[in-house]
Amino acid sequence: MKEAEVKALLVDPMNNSPVILLKDRNSTKAMPIWIGEAEAMSIALELQGQSFPRPLSHDLMKRLLEALGGTLERVVISNLKEGTFYATLYVRTPTGELKEIDARPSDSVALALRTRSPIYIADEVFEQSAIESPFAEEEKFHEFVDRELRLSEFRKRAQSS
């Protein structure tokens, strides 16, 4: 199972549809999932730290979970059938029971972002649909900068020049 993060929310220029890009935290590969506009707006608002005056559907789901004493332990993009992704919500009840709930990936991701729950992708699903992340080179550059080029080193070099 791959742990993933929402790397980007994009628009497919071919059909003008929103796409979330879920990146494997341990590789340079990512998985695109085409989603609806309402879910894209909900995800975008959460990624930007914004909210509506009234709760959106995913805010309501989070509030219901909290009010009933449940917690979202994780989300798993669990299957891919005939071009459609499937997800499973793993919800812990107040009695400790773990419930598996079938859900759409877009709703699952929106809820996971709100509850700060981890997102996973089943290995076989990832292998079928992963692409090289369009952000791979940028990430390698940032890793190099973080590892090799420290701000303190720049200051030392600037002062000695």
pLDDT digits (tens, 9 = 90+) for 16-42: 889 999 999 998 889 999 999 999 999
Percent of the chain scoring above 70 in pLDDT? 82
Taking the C-alpha atoms of 142, 20, 29 and 126 in order, what is their torsion angle to the nearest 10 degrees? Answer: 150
Q: How confident is the model at residue 108 (pLDDT cuts 50, 70, 90)?
A: very high
* pLDDT reported for residue 36: 92
CATH domain 2-130 topology = Bifunctional nuclease domain (3.10.690)
Mean pLDDT of the chain: 86
In this prediction, residues 122-137 reach a mean pLDDT of: 82
State in Å, rounded, how far the first CA of the chain is from the last one.
50
Query: Considering the entire predicted model, what is its pTM?
Result: 0.80
Cα separations in angstroms, 69 against 35, 106, 112, 114: 29, 23, 16, 16
Q: Structural domain boundaries of the chain?
A: 2-130
Position 158 pLDDT exceeds 70 = no
Q: How confident is the model at residue 136 (pLDDT cuts 50, 70, 90)?
A: low
pLDDT digits (tens, 9 = 90+) for 142-156: 454 454 444 444 445
